[in-house]
Structure 1
Amino acid sequence: MKETYRSALLNLTENPKYTDLSRWRLRVKEGAQTWHYLTEEEVKTWPQTAADRYFLGLPSDAPELPKAKTPIEAAKKGFEFYKRLQTEDGHWAGEYGGPMFMVPGLIISHYITGTPVPDHERLEIIRYLLNRAHPDDGGWGLHIEGHSTVFITALTYVALRILGLGADHPALIKARGTLHKMGGATGAPAWGKFWLCAMGLYEWEGMNPVPPELWVLPNFLPIHPGKWWVHTRMVYLPMGYIYAKKLRPEPTDFIHDLRREIYVQPYESIDWNAQRNNIAKEDLYMPHTKLIDFIDEILVYYMKVPLSVNKLRQYALDATVDLIRMEDENTFFLDIGPVNKVLNWLVCYYHYGKESREFKEHVRRNADFMWLGPLWDTAFVAQACCEAGFADEAKNIPAMRKALEFLDDCQIKRNVPDIDKCYRHVSLGAWPFSTRDQGYTVSDCTAEGLKSVLQLQKLSQMPKLVNDDRLKQAVDVLLTMQNSDGGFASYERIRGPQWLEWLNPAEVFGDIMIEYSYPECTTAVLLGLSSFKKTFPDYRRAEIDEVSRKAVQYIRKKQRPDGSWFGSWAICFTYAALFSLDSLASVGDTYETCEHSRRGCDFLISKQQADGGWGELYKSCETGVYCQHPQSQVVQTAWACLALMSAKYPHKEPIKRGIELIMSRQQANGEWLQEGIEGVFNRNCMISYPNYKFSFTIWALGRYARLYGNE
């Protein structure tokens, strides 16, 4: 069968001519951010903003400012630059970068559905993927700082071929060589095998089963997907539909070419059943247990029962489609994240067709996940400016007012329909990680949104946009989210038993099967409730006090013998120390009064580097052991200084040295440059939070000035 997908026929052997970066514009509306490539005429009426130029890496017109001589001057200088990056709707945008498995799935879905990638996007995705290749071997890793893996090298190779690069392009020759050295695409982990199957580049017999029947099990069973962590269940929901129906396009000349390119033996000679548990050593992070391998062996035979006679499977597929429909409608076709968004798009393509409203809505909203600016960053910088004491300065009031307007708009103002049927947590009054349309409650985002609004609305020149009832609704949500151990998880309470991790099928991620309590989320909620009761001392006070008491107990209990806490949402022990010491300080537990606080501070001090800064490598997240970064990092230095100051560490000198390092890295225009990656999820995948180098540095400098004066 001849190939008809236009860009797959290009077979470029050289890099294409990329777009003119001066013609890109970021459009923002209610937190949603989409990039637009303008015609020469449109450019004349829509000028680039400072934020546009910054994100595109174009020269900044930010003026050089006098060198800061004191911490508060450095904080103000940093905010002078950072204000320029605030978008017109009031939030601070940022690239949702780091993980490398999201873009290939999007491009493969474009190919399967026959949806062209617009040329301007296609060219820039090529540029991005080539720039993210490993500098030594030319492959791609799970995240931008990781080593090359079969999973991402194979999928990125396929994506670049779809986007127009030929097999003889130098970058693909190099990447193919690396892929072959790792044993070829048969060694991809489960998610890699799925995407290759979906495109017809791997046989379904070589993938462990994803039975949709799990969704129609009785809800009380502990293995029901409704008990899983929300991201996991929402990925495996559409994956099960596609797997059960063995959906894939008809093989074309292009697909046959790829089959020859990504394997180390002829495609027809591969024993597919033997590949189900073949995971390359470069990829394997979380090996299967014997239990899941045993269950998979049974399911392999069950899944051979034809769909035409398996009434349970048809019933399960109908239930799956209904749950996907609810997820799409409840999130306005954004879905909880980029992975399940493109999988749901594929299901809509096969189930409803290309002319359906569902398919077209997915296409329309694809652009939203090419860029993401979370509420998270806006909440942090608002709090940083308030604590530093310059949020209410006349020149900063417009920025703070815009931030409050965004926080007002972003708060979720409804519970979704059929909330129990689609396994959702209550959301009325919550704040999400990203946009209100996406609409998922997140515990720490709700708490940080609440804290930010409370602080901003105390400023004398600030309107009261979020009324008392809505603030109370946020607290109502938080009070539903505490786990039995006293801690708080991310999206909802823990629903399933921990032994469900024995059934983790993903091989490359850890701790994905259920929710967990986290020191970071627990601290955010604790501090949010503490801020709230200062303004509303009588509202549900007994419940708030009891929840807070249990939260502090959880923080104390999670401390390791060496004084550290393990962080799960950023790197790693340094980040967790920031939150945990904040928790203790909120109830008066400081270095002088509390052993937990003292041991936490001593742990941080033991990790301070020779230049006065702190730097922790992402390997800490993978190994569970503190790993020093070769170079101190301004973000982690800010975290450590903030933590020590919260705990009232009695020796100023280590903190002062950290502050001096932050000041020394500040550029003449007020900015700080990007250093190492900051965030993590599921132990093994890092994620960028590029705004942290502004919000936390400003926060640390401002707190130092408030506590120690303007030295």
Structure 2
Amino acid sequence: MEVQLMGKDFLMEVQRCLGRARDRLLSHQDIEGWWKAELETNVSIEAEDLFLREFLGIADPEVTRQTANWIRHCQRADGTWATYYEGPPDLSVTVEAYWALRYAGDPADADHMAKAAAYIRDEGGVECSRVFTRLWMALFGLWRWEDLPALPPEVILLPKRLPLNIYDFACWARQTVVALTVVGAHRPVRPMGLDLDEINTGVVPPEREPAPAGTWARRFQRLDRALHLYERRPSRWLRERALRRAERWIISRQEADGCWGGIQPPWVYSLLALHLRGYPLNHPILARGLAGFDTWTIVEGDMRRLECCQSPVWDTCLALVALADAGVDPADPQLVAGARWLLDEEVRVVGDWAERRPNLPPGGWAFEFENDNYPDLDDTAEVALALRRIRVPDSGRVQDALDRAVTWTNGMQCSDGGWAAFDADNCSRLVAELPFCDFGEVTDPPSADVTAHVIEMLCELDADGFGSAVDHQVVARGVAWLSAAQEPDGSWFGRWGANHLYGTGAAVPALVSAGVPTDDDRVVAACRWLESVQNRDGGWGEDLRSYDDPAWRGRGMSTPSQTAWALLALVAGGRASGEAARRGVAWLVGNQRDDGSWDEPWYTGTGFPGDFYIRYHLYRLVFPVMALGRWLRAVGNGR
């Protein structure tokens, strides 16, 4: 659909487009007030779910069949699987998917299986897959425990002042590692009645290849050899002490819905760890944990898949911000219901973040329905931005919650002035060098996108008089950090969204909220970069390969969410009336579906850069609503 870029007809068409999208977004709200759409990832989630069920003895033939249908559905023509839509083949995901289909009964000589096996062998075989893939194989006797990197449970006894203690790991890695040390200490083997000889090559696993002399990687290889020697005859009293502490640590972090950390990996490994410690499947802890997976399961037709995480708080606060930007009355009952639900979700208990900030009172929000141990700064910032836009009758309750959020956010600033997602000063460089840690990001340093969202929150609350505890020095340090993080081309790296379009879409509104003029060099450089990477069709897109290859920065098929992120920056930067912004708006208008939403098969969410990506099904709707609403307001004001 070709859209004219000028005149009243264009504005009316944008308004109609926004109205359709707004109504579509409102229709997604749950009766309890929240929004939640699917978080789609790669098929390793489904494969490992089948492995877990087999190991625990609760495999169900129908579950296996429907899950195999989904895994088969996601296989590409070349026989491989990827970590994201139209991404390059991924060896570990392909190994796990192939294994899951063999387990489900697909013969190795079937055409689709032979193609997958040929790719696996060409890439070095099972031996070159990630450590976690081979750890799953060790559980079933398909890999030797002795050939995995060592990570003894005694690590939990290390005091916080020593390197490599568990709090040097990011919260997601910490929960996973503690549980896996218990699993590794027991070294169970429960054969499933098949072998995978056809995808073994006998090459040396990557972590066994000698690292360059004098590097931390080489030192940790020596440490790994020493730990393997210790594993042959560990101190019995020290091992049991460590296992008991790890067991207590795991149990104390189970959430009300049965999960751990609100994400799949620590949830699965915690169940394995406690089961190996002697907890029967009908024990309340394990029973609650297993039952919780039912709420994360999606069955469509004859296929079954799982979410790796759920995002109701994130989806709800973004939806509220977008609807307010779209002109919905702040006192609208649906918006008030959403705000009240968010207020009920405030985390008022102390979590793991207090290990680095022991005297800081709690006050924030998590990403999921249940994750009180791990509220995060990103959700807290966006929830606060949503609450300030809604006219909740109990304004005193809103004020109190926002004051607590500001106090907690101030206290969670890292020593360098930036903000990370879950912890403060979680920047150890050593843990990433451990041979065990090849599964993605294992620390949680400050990022431009989180820092930007926090700055925007603090500045808007300060301007409104909501955040009575806003510290201007804290904001100034944050702005300095964000300014220093700007790339030479004018963009910002996006840690939790793809990628420089996401980082830049967050950073420019934050700087302008902090009082940076739109003609400032930082804002001008960012807007010029956005204009330089705009696609010929008027939209913006950035392929996830940009995390590994700078040549992909700002390049990719146009998507609704990424086009919206670019527009958010251009509007904030005073360029709403420019040709680039108008072409971007026209792209959104021209590509809207009849139901008011947009198509977006591409993954634009990031879990671990380079390793794990997410397709947020609400992004294709919520961000265009936000961007179109702000654009219309800006051009209506003559910008």
TM over 0.5: yes
Query: Is 1:469 paired with 2:403?
Result: no
**2:39·2:614 contact (CA, 8 Å) conserved in 1?**
yes
Indicate how the Cα distance of structure 1 residues 93 and 420 shifts in structure 2: closer, same or farther if over 3 A, else same. closer
Residue in structure 1 matched with residue 631 of structure 2 by the alignment: 704
Matched ranges for 1:216-227 at <5 A: 216-227=157-168
**2:491·2:529 contact (CA, 8 Å) conserved in 1?**
yes
**Structure 2 counterpart SS, 1:455:** coil
Query: Is 1:130 paired with 2:72?
Result: yes
Indicate how the Cα distance of structure 1 residues 330 and 625 shifts in structure 2: closer, same or farther if over 3 A, else same. farther
Residue in structure 2 matched with residue 387 of structure 1 by the alignment: 325
1:96 is displaced (CA, Å) by 1.8
Query: Is 1:289 paired with 2:217?
Result: yes
Residue in structure 1 matched with residue 18 of structure 2 by the alignment: 75
Letter in 1 for 2:16: E
1:87 is displaced (CA, Å) by 2.2
1:581 is displaced (CA, Å) by 0.6
Partner deviation per Cα, 1:603-643 (whole Å, 9 max, x = no partner): 11111122222121111122345435453222211111110
Distance 1:425 1:499 in 2: 27
Indicate how the Cα distance of structure 1 residues 118 and 627 shifts in structure 2: closer, same or farther if over 3 A, else same. same
Indicate how the Cα distance of structure 1 residues 92 and 161 shifts in structure 2: closer, same or farther if over 3 A, else same. farther
Matching residue within 454, 460, 463 for 1:534 = 463
Residue in structure 2 matched with residue 40 of structure 1 by the alignment: none
Letter in 1 for 2:328: F
Matched ranges for 1:349-498 at <5 A: 349-351=275-277, 352-369=279-296, 370-371=306-307, 372-392=310-330, 397-415=332-350, 428-437=362-371, 439-457=373-391, 464=395, 466-498=397-429
Residue in structure 2 matched with residue 198 of structure 1 by the alignment: 139
What is the count of residue pairs matched by the alignment? 612
Matched ranges for 1:22-41 at <5 A: none
1:426 is displaced (CA, Å) by 6.7
Distance 2:486 2:147 in 1: 43
Matched ranges for 1:293-332 at <5 A: 293-305=221-233, 307=234, 309-328=235-254, 332=258
Per the normalisation by structure 1, the TM-score is 0.80
Matching residue within 208, 211, 220 for 2:149 = 208
1:392 is displaced (CA, Å) by 4.4
Distance 2:467 2:614 in 1: 40
Letter in 2 for 1:258: D
**2:403·2:467 contact (CA, 8 Å) conserved in 1?**
no
Distance 1:699 1:367 in 2: 33
1:665 is displaced (CA, Å) by 0.4
- Which blocks of at least 5 consecutive residues in structure 1 are unaligned? 1-65, 265-269, 280-286
Query: Is 1:523 paired with 2:466?
Result: no
**1:140·1:156 contact (CA, 8 Å) conserved in 2?**
yes
Distance 2:361 2:100 in 1: 36
Indicate how the Cα distance of structure 1 residues 566 and 145 shifts in structure 2: closer, same or farther if over 3 A, else same. same
Query: Is 1:688 paired with 2:604?
Result: no
Distance 1:332 1:115 in 2: 17
**1:571·1:678 contact (CA, 8 Å) conserved in 2?**
yes
Matched ranges for 1:254-265 at <5 A: 254=193, 257-264=194-201
Distance 1:538 1:311 in 2: 52
**2:186·2:276 contact (CA, 8 Å) conserved in 1?**
no
Indicate how the Cα distance of structure 1 residues 605 and 447 shifts in structure 2: closer, same or farther if over 3 A, else same. same
1:387 is displaced (CA, Å) by 1.9
**2:357·2:411 contact (CA, 8 Å) conserved in 1?**
no
Query: Is 1:573 paired with 2:507?
Result: no
1:696 is displaced (CA, Å) by 0.9
**Structure 2 counterpart SS, 1:680:** strand
Matched ranges for 1:542-621 at <5 A: 544-592=471-519, 594-621=520-547
**2:321·2:386 contact (CA, 8 Å) conserved in 1?**
yes
Matching residue within 128, 134, 156 for 1:187 = 128
Distance 2:343 2:538 in 1: 39
Partner deviation per Cα, 1:634-688 (whole Å, 9 max, x = no partner): 2211111110110113862111111001100012221211242101132112211
Letter in 2 for 1:340: P
Indicate how the Cα distance of structure 1 residues 596 and 486 shifts in structure 2: closer, same or farther if over 3 A, else same. same
Residue in structure 2 matched with residue 669 of structure 1 by the alignment: 595
**1:334·1:365 contact (CA, 8 Å) conserved in 2?**
no
Q: Which moved more, 1:95-104 or 1:141-150?
A: 141-150
Distance 1:495 1:364 in 2: 33
1:501 is displaced (CA, Å) by 3.2
Matched ranges for 1:124-163 at <5 A: 124-133=66-75, 135-163=76-104
Indicate how the Cα distance of structure 1 residues 607 and 275 shifts in structure 2: closer, same or farther if over 3 A, else same. closer
Per the normalisation by structure 2, the TM-score is 0.89
Letter in 1 for 2:339: L
Distance 1:438 1:166 in 2: 45
**Structure 2 counterpart SS, 1:559:** coil
**Please, what is the CA RMSD of the aligned residues?**
2.9
Partner deviation per Cα, 1:355-401 (whole Å, 9 max, x = no partner): 322221211112234342431121112111212222448xxx24323
Partner deviation per Cα, 1:257-304 (whole Å, 9 max, x = no partner): 23444435xxxxx69xx547369xxxxxxx993232232222222222
1:471 is displaced (CA, Å) by 2.4
Residue in structure 2 matched with residue 57 of structure 1 by the alignment: none
Distance 2:396 2:93 in 1: 45
**Structure 1 counterpart SS, 2:71:** helix
1:92 is displaced (CA, Å) by 2.1
Matched ranges for 1:244-259 at <5 A: 244-249=185-190, 251-252=191-192, 254=193, 257-259=194-196
Matched ranges for 1:332-343 at <5 A: 332-343=258-269
1:164 is displaced (CA, Å) by 4.7
**Structure 1 counterpart SS, 2:389:** helix
1:408 is displaced (CA, Å) by 2.3
1:567 is displaced (CA, Å) by 0.9
Distance 1:162 1:117 in 2: 12
**1:440·1:491 contact (CA, 8 Å) conserved in 2?**
yes
Indicate how the Cα distance of structure 1 residues 531 and 218 shifts in structure 2: closer, same or farther if over 3 A, else same. same
Residue in structure 1 matched with residue 40 of structure 2 by the alignment: 97
1:165 is displaced (CA, Å) by 3.9
Identity of aligned residues (%): 23
Distance 1:664 1:348 in 2: 53
**1:578·1:640 contact (CA, 8 Å) conserved in 2?**
yes
Indicate how the Cα distance of structure 1 residues 163 and 465 shifts in structure 2: closer, same or farther if over 3 A, else same. farther
Distance 1:598 1:147 in 2: 34
Distance 1:232 1:604 in 2: 34
Indicate how the Cα distance of structure 1 residues 240 and 499 shifts in structure 2: closer, same or farther if over 3 A, else same. closer
Letter in 1 for 2:200: Y
1:601 is displaced (CA, Å) by 1.1
1:163 is displaced (CA, Å) by 4.0
Indicate how the Cα distance of structure 1 residues 452 and 419 shifts in structure 2: closer, same or farther if over 3 A, else same. closer
Letter in 1 for 2:453: A
Residue in structure 1 matched with residue 3 of structure 2 by the alignment: none
Residue in structure 2 matched with residue 645 of structure 1 by the alignment: 571
